[in-house]
Amino acid sequence: MQRKTFLKAMIASAAVALTPVLASAQDPIIVGEINHYKRMAAFAGPYKQGIELALEQTNEAGGVMGRPLEFIFRDDQGEPGEAVKIAEELMTRDGAVMLTGTILSNVGLAISSFAGEKGYVYLASEPLADSLVWAAGNKYTFRLRSSTFMQAAMLAEAAAKTDAVRFATIAPNYAYGKDAVAAFKENLLKLKPEAEFVAEQWPALFKIDAGAEVQALERAKPDAIYNVTFGPDLAKFVRDGTDRGLFDGRDVYGLLSGEPEYLDPLGDEAPEGWTVTGFPWYDLTDGPDGEFVAAYQERFDDYPRLGSIVGYMTVQSIVAALEKAGSTETEAIREAFEDLAVDSAMGPITFRSIDNQSTMGAYVGTVALRDGKGVMVDWEYKDGANYLPSDEEVMKLRAAE
Amino acid sequence: MSVVLETRGLTKAFGGLVAVDNVSFQLQESELLALIGPNGAGKSTCFNMLMGQLPPTSGEVFLMGEKITGLKPRQIWRKGVGRTFQITATYSSMTVVENVQMALLSHNGRIFRFRSQAHRLYRKEALALLDMVGMADQADRHCAVLAYGDLKRLELATALAHEPTLLLMDEPTAGMAPKERIALMQLTADIVRDQGVSVLFTEHDMDVVFAHSHRIMVLNRGALIAEGSAAEIRANPMVQEVYLGGGTVFGAEEHADA
Amino acid sequence: MEFFVAQILTGLANASSLFLVACGLSLIFGVTRIVNFAHGSLYMLGAYIGLTLMETLPGHVGFWGSILLAGIAVGLIGVVIEMLVLRPVYRAPELFQLVATFGVILVIQDLALMIWGPEDQLGPRAPGLRGVFRIMGEPIPKYDIVLLIITPIIALALWYMMARTRLGVLVRAATQDREMVGALGVNQAWLFTGVFALGSALAGLGGALQLPKGGADLLMDFTILTPVFVVVVIGGMGSLPGAYLAAIIISVLNVFGVTYIPQSTLVLMFLVMIVVLMIRPYGLFGREEVAGEHGQVGEPEEPIKPASRQTRLIVAAGLVLLALLPLIGSNFALVLSTDILIFCLFAASLHFLLGLGGMVSFGHAAYYGGGAYVAALLVTWTNTPMELAFLLAPFGAGLAAIIIGWVCLRLTGVYFAMLTLAFAQLLWSLVWQWQDVTGGDDGLVNIWPSDWLNNNTAFFYFALLFSVGGILVLRHVAHSPFGYALRAARDSQRQAEATGIDTQRVKLLAFTFAGFMGGLAGALFVFSKGSVFPNELEIVRSFDALIVVFLGGVKTLAGGVVGAAFFKGVEDILTRFEYWRLVMGLLIIFVVVVAPEGIVGSLRRAARRIGLGKEQPS
């Protein structure tokens, strides 16, 4: 017993020795940011620039609570185990007040589980998995970006307005793809009970056999197709499908396909006529999103991707939470995030206290070609608040808590 | 005297090629029996069937009257048959004495033991065996650095570890200097005499064969063509035909039998 | 019927790139015995270089010229790799070159990122070949038809080269018997370089040729690697006709799989491979490997001895220091040390298999990840208390190892390695796609230890106890009769069998034991992180362990542990820099070239040279 007390005393004194004595007014407030800078460089790069822009603006305007805001960016190589280790380092050694970041859902879920267990606030900026705020949700994890469910619901709403009855789906064969198909089905059948699903294709992620998938879809003779593939899979699918006439006379709905990250690599082969969720920065001139686009282009000599605005809004959300909390204590920040209203670059959003999901929306529009590049036309910003399940359903989903 | 090893109509065909053709012979207790023949006569094939490395196409093998055809090498070994290989097979990452200890561990059923330290077990017995082949002074040397003749002697010590009733030696002196050959065969003959082990061996060196074997069998194209004492074999015209007609002379052959 | 024909045509067109890359790999293996893991990277380079050339060279000539030039350029890169990285290590222990090629992968990944940037590039269309031909009414892309014609032509050209030219004769001779080439008076080094260049050029060609069907991205090196290995193994390592046939089988089967069992896409390929190897252990056209071909190349391992009193004291002192870490180190130091300890146990379990048993497993992550998943599944679905789940996990992994080992041990050498890889991939596919049970890519979360363990200090001691304990057990078993029998089976299976040792049983038990220990490491991992995802079962995880074992020193008892501790530590530092993969890759290559006996082996040698330690008895 005595030895134990001694040990505890030793540990405590060591901990005191290693933490900065008392934060002075000029010491920066540190936020730990974990991402896949190497593994998903094309996505993480623009996202980081969005953060940097917002940080510069914040600190020029006097920082947060009179202190500068600083992010420490760390690369987790896309490995959940590595991310958890880094999270620990950021919180206990680097003096971060909270955590944010990640694009990949699995890494986000790992950090979320860790944050919930250790009692650290984690703002999941980009990961899409529904379970992050529902089945595996916890009170320390908040999510900014509109989730798989929300974006699928937006496309289902659009699909329900057409005459199409026979639907086919194609999605990468892993958690995200399956969630995206399930959410689309659920929402579509709610709005159009007569809809039927005549084919479901599940190519392995990044190993699509596009010719075979297109043939299989064609064989089912659907009225409409719902696509969840992305990245190199999407490029191959679009090219083979266009060549073989799969999309002729059919409605196609593409989840995320309109985001510059995915649309731009397709160049002049962008699939015209698809209904997609994405980010039409080229048409944003006024309003908060327009201001963001202008500032971003001026600062970086580059155009923003979806990740850029998410990064920007991540900082906006954190700043709002810190200001509301008036403290850098974990519990204060956590409480501040609940029902936090943010005047974000996409307009007003709220972090719902019921499931810690923000009401950030998405832009839905149609793909067209402009100057040899794919763009979204006839788009509309859909408020995420309208595409979330009812409170009762959410309560059921978050039963674990 | 009792029969230690007997084959009846032992035959092995590889496709159309009959490598060993209806070979029947007996090996008596405490006998040193040589199996000779030109290259490709089927000596090694015959040996591999005796030891269970190859299943015979037809025919049977009996050890002390018990049928052992179809048994695996390790099962035949457990019945008291030791063997040495034409190309030495030792554990090159171990010391000399550990090589012998390995066979002793196996003999005493201690292979699947996890608690004890192997290098402490049966060391005394292993040293005695090494002493028998004159290798005791090299016991703790790394096996990989041994001279070829020493490896052959080590192999012999290993083969004797479980006190076999029968020893099968496939070209025991291949690749050794003439002086060493005589010494090794003398050693073998002494062991046969002292311990009552029966030995069947194949050999190219006719000096070795004629000097030490009690009886000689001659194999040609898979079939036994002659059998008898050294003098009888020397005088056999068919044997002379095989060796001289085959373009080789007694004692001049060095190639390994494939 | 029309649909059927169209499907076969699609499959044949898909076989094109797969065949080119696979036959390059097969060729290189046949002659040099190197399993070139960097082959996917060469394919990726072919795609990027082809793309860059196509952007500058116009028209038909430009397009096809670019493909040809990309092949040549990658061939030249192959020459550089062979001469700088592989030539110095041909005499190194078995499969050591493989580690060097892994270093090359890392270097090429970062170089490609620096040169071509992170964004996916869509391949340009072949001029005049946009659109489809109608064959029996079914639309078939024009470029598919071109690929259908080009591939057999290249295959025939290769066949002609093998059958009719002097180089072909030499390559065939070398594939059958390496010594023979030396006897023919040929400079072996240049033959190896030439073959490596040819194999690389084929990979580059494959990368450039697929551009109109896809494009270039930074993940394509690993994406192609698994199917290519599957094709080479099914066809028979070193056989070109085998590679051709296997590429077609896999591609066509895949097309039908997509149509009739769309969920199967990942698993199908590995099932085919396992079935083929069960029936034909050396692939369709492969020949049996001569025993010892992959046995102990280079100097034989030295006899092992239990650690001396001096060594024991040093290790004990080290452990005491480690045990004091919670008093002197930061919180993060504890977390990092826990990670390193777990990884050391994982590496030590592989080293047991690899070093003592001579069994090169490319799929050891199956047991590490397997153990982690067993614990996580128990906790998630049956609410098993943490302590019980932790204890059951290694048994689950051991059970998997018995089954997998029973099948794989019918084979030896590279085929054994490939089959272990196939099983690990099968397990990974299963976990990745069976979302209802395993959570798929979203993994299993909230797998935390019981309260008494749920802080960094307590868990550090827990990991210290089990990792060090596990490593000591592994080490003790190495000295036990069983460990000796395992080495005996490795050194001379013939002699072991001829002295009553059931080598298959010994090997299977060793395989199971290594799996058990890997599972223990996995169980520690899952409770230290609180979650588990399919990437703990991925090839990359198997390679992580393989690399540190080789770099630490296969032929030394401490190699696995030292390698693991060193590289995990270095990795933690390096990953803070932007181009860390480049540095890591160069570091691996550097160790391979400078210290072919691994870190421990080379240190021991150096110590002897300056008169420390025991002189090698000679």
* CB-CB under 8 Å, C533 with A112: no
Running DSSP on this structure, what letter comes out for residue C451?
G
CA distance B241 to C6: 70
> How high is the pLDDT of residue C613?
54
Q: At what angle do helices C503-529 and C386-408 cross, to 10 degrees?
A: 140
Same domain? For A325 and A227 the reply is no
The average pLDDT across C440-445 equals 88
Mean pLDDT value across residues C539-554: 88
pLDDT at C180: 67
Q: What range does the domain containing A369 cover?
A: 149-281+362-387
How high is the pLDDT of residue C615? 45
pLDDT tens-digit series, residues C63-73: 999 999 999 99
Whether residue B248 has pLDDT greater than 80: no
Give the pLDDT score at A241. Answer: 93
Tell whether the model's pLDDT for residue B254 goes beyond 80. Answer: no
Residue A52, pLDDT above cutoff 70: yes
Q: Which of B74, B93, B140 sits opposite C491 (nearest CB)?
A: B93
Q: Angle formed by the axes of helices A175-191 and A105-118, to 10°?
A: 90
Q: For residue range C8-40, what is the model confidence (pLDDT) as tens digits?
A: 888 898 898 899 999 999 988 888 888 888 999
Please indicate whether residue A10 or residue C136 has the higher confidence score (pLDDT).
C136
Smallest CA–CA distance, residue C357 to chain B, in Å, is 12
Look at residue A27 and tell me whether its pLDDT is greater than 80.
yes
Q: What is the mean pLDDT of residues C74-99?
A: 85
A392 inside domain: no
Chain C residues whose C-beta is within 8 A of a chain B C-beta are 296, 299-306, 476-477, 479-485, 487-488, 490-492, 494-502, 506, 509, 616-618
Q: Which residues pair with A70 in a beta bridge?
A: A30
**CB-CB neighbors (< 8 A) of C439 in chain A:** 175
Strands B215-220 and B198-202 turn out to be unpaired
Cβ contacts of C306 on chain B, cutoff 8 Å: 117, 119
Choose, out of A7, A117, A131, the residue to mutate when testing the contact with C (most C CBs < 10 Å).
A117
| Residue C139 to residue A244, Cβ atoms within 8 A | yes
- C495 vs B141: CB contact, 8 Å cut-off? no
CB contact under 8 A, A175 and C120: no
Assign A68 a pLDDT band (cuts: 50, 70, 90): very high
Residue A283 has pLDDT above 80, yes or no: yes
Asked if the Cβ–Cβ distance from A117 to C530 is below 8 Å, we say yes
Q: What confidence score (pLDDT) does residue A41 get?
A: 85
pTM attached to this predicted model: 0.88
Is the pLDDT at C296 greater than 80, yes or no? no
Q: What is the pLDDT of residue C291?
A: 42
pLDDT at C612: 63
Q: What proportion of chain A, given as a percentage, has pLDDT over 90?
A: 76
Residues in chain C closer than 8 A to A204 (CB atoms): 265-266
**Chain B residues with CB inside 8 Å of C499's CB?**
74, 77, 102-103, 106-107, 158, 161-162
Q: Is the per-residue pLDDT at A260 higher than 60? A: yes
Q: Where are the domains of chain C?
A: 2-279, 329-538
* pLDDT at residue B258 in the model: 36
Q: Residue A25: pLDDT above 60?
A: no
pLDDT at position A39 over 50: yes
- Which residues of chain C does A256 touch, with a Cβ-Cβ cutoff of 8 Å? none
Same domain, A161 and A259: yes
Given a cut of 50, is residue A148 above it in pLDDT?
Answer: yes
Confidence of residue C559 (pLDDT cuts 50, 70, 90): confident
Mean pLDDT of chain A: 90
Selecting from C332, C442, C576 the residue whose C-beta is nearest the C-beta of A105 gives: C442
Q: What is the mean pLDDT of residues B9-22?
A: 88
Taking residues A160-183, what's their average pLDDT?
92
- Distance (Å) from the alpha carbon of A262 to chain C's nearest alpha carbon: 9
Among the partner-chain residues C477, C484, C502, the one whose CB lies closest to the CB of B74 is C502
Distance CA C214, CA A251 (A): 24
Number of domains in chain A: 2
Which chain C positions have a beta carbon within 8 Å of A240's beta carbon?
141, 213
Residues with Cβ < 8 Å from A239, sequence gap 6 or more? Answer: A210, A269, C122, C213, C214
Q: CB–CB of A206 and C219 under 8 A?
A: yes
Please tell me the predicted confidence (pLDDT) of residue C89: 81
A394 assigned to some structural domain: no
Chains B and A touch (3+ CB pairs under 8 A): no
CATH number of residue A200's parent domain: 3.40.50.2300
Q: Residue C350: which pLDDT band, with cuts at 50, 70 and 90?
A: very high
Among A214-228, C233-247, C457-471, where is mean pLDDT lowest? C233-247
pLDDT, residue A397, reads: 85
CA B224 vs CA A115, B6, B166, B201: distances in Å: 83, 14, 21, 15
Distance CA A38, CA A55 (A): 22
CATH of domain C2-279: 1.10.3470
Looking at domain C329-538, its CATH class is mainly alpha
**Helix C503-529 × helix C481-491 angle, to 10°:** 120
Helix axes C166-176, C142-164, angle to 10 degrees: 80
Average pLDDT for C295-307: 69
The burial of A194, by beta-carbon neighbours within 10 Å (0-12 exposed, 13-18 middle, 19 or more buried), is given as exposed
Q: Any CB–CB contact under 8 A between B145 and chain C?
A: yes
State the pLDDT at residue C213: 87
Q: Which residue in A has a C-alpha nearest to residue C571's C-alpha?
A: A82
CB atoms B117 and C306 under 8 Å: yes
Residues in C touching A114 (Cβ below 8 Å): 529-531
Would you say residue C598 has pLDDT above 90?
Answer: no
- Residue B98 CA to residue B139 CA, distance in Å, equals 8
Query: Residue C6's closest chain A neighbor by CA?
Result: A215
pLDDT reading at B257 higher than 90: no
pLDDT, residue C273, reads: 87
Q: Could you tell me the CA-to-CA distances from C428 to A85, C276, C502 in Å, in that order?
A: 23, 20, 32
Does the beta-carbon distance from C331 to A200 stay under 8 Å?
Answer: no
* Cβ–Cβ under 8 Å, residues A363 and A382: yes
Contact C446, A137 (CB under 8 A): no
Per-residue pLDDT tens digits for B132-175 = 888 999 999 999 888 888 898 999 999 999 999 999 998 888 88
- Distance in Å, alpha carbon of B146 to nearest chain C alpha carbon: 9
Domain for residue A204, yes or no?
A: yes
pLDDT tens per residue across span C387-404: 999 999 999 999 999 999
Torsion, CA A331, CA A333, CA A336, CA A340, rounded to 10: -140
Q: What is the mean pLDDT of chain B?
A: 87
DSSP type of residue A350: E
| Whole-number percent of chain C with pLDDT over 70 | 94
Sign of the dihedral through C-alpha C272, C273, C277, C278 = negative
pLDDT digits (tens, 9 = 90+) for C201-212: 999 999 999 999
Domain shared by A18 and A106, yes or no: yes
Domain with CATH 3.40.50.300 in chain B: 28-54+71-80+164-258
pLDDT in tens, C497-514: 999 999 999 999 999 999
Nearest chain C residue to A174 by CA distance is C433
Residue C290, pLDDT > 70, answer no
Residue B72 to residue C498: CA distance in whole angstroms:
9
Beta-bridge partner residues of A200? A169
Whether C536 and C512 have beta carbons less than 8 Å apart is answered as: no
Q: Which of A200, A184, A365 is nearest to A283 (CA)?
A: A365
Task: Report pLDDT for C181.
Answer: 67
Query: What digits encode the pLDDT tens for the residues C475-492?
Result: 999 999 999 999 999 998
Beta carbons of C124 and C54 less than 8 angstroms apart: yes
The CA distance from C17 to C64, in Å, is: 15
Fold of B28-54+71-80+164-258: Rossmann fold (3.40.50)
Contact C443 A110 (CB under 8 A): yes
C96: pLDDT strictly greater than 80: no
**Chain C: nearest CA to A61, how far in angstroms?**
30
Per the CB < 8 Å rule, is C266 touching A114? no
* pLDDT at residue C617 tops 80: no
pLDDT digits over C400-416, tens only?
A: 999 999 999 988 888 88
Do A36 and A115 fall within a single domain? Answer: yes
Q: How far is the C-alpha of B73 from the C-alpha of B54, rounded, in Å?
A: 9
Q: What is the mean pLDDT of residues A388-401?
A: 83
User: What pLDDT digit, counting tens, does each position of B50-99 carry?
Assistant: 988 889 999 999 999 999 998 999 999 999 999 888 888 899 899 999 99
Range picked from C91-100, C292-301, C572-581 for highest mean pLDDT: C572-581
Same domain, yes or no: A261 and A330: no
pLDDT of residue C280: 87
Short-list A139, A122, A80, CA closest to A104: A80
Residues of B in contact with C483 (CB under 8 A): 118
Q: Does B229 touch chain C (CB under 8 A)?
A: no
Q: Taking CB atoms and an 8 Å limit, are A88 and C330 in contact across chains?
A: no
Per-residue confidence band for B123, with pLDDT thresholds at 50, 70 and 90: very high
> A166 and A17: one domain?
no
Average pLDDT, chain C: 88
Q: Judge: C141–A42 Cβ closer than 8 Å, yes or no.
A: no
Lowest mean pLDDT among B204-208, C250-254, C473-477, C612-616: C612-616
How many C-beta neighbours within 10 Å does residue C291 have? 12
pLDDT tens digit string along A77-131? 888 999 999 999 999 889 999 999 999 889 999 999 999 999 999 999 999 999 8
Residues of C in contact with B94 (CB under 8 A): 303, 484, 487-488, 491
- Give the whole-angstrom CA distance, residue A134 versus residue A155: 21
ipTM above 0.85, yes or no: yes
Q: Could you report the per-residue pLDDT of A262-281, keeping only the tens digit for each?
A: 999 998 999 999 999 999 99
**Residue A80 shares a structural domain with residue A143:** yes
Residue A373 predicted with pLDDT over 90: yes
Q: What is the pLDDT of residues A290-339, one digit of tens each?
A: 999 999 999 999 999 999 999 999 999 999 999 999 999 999 999 999 99
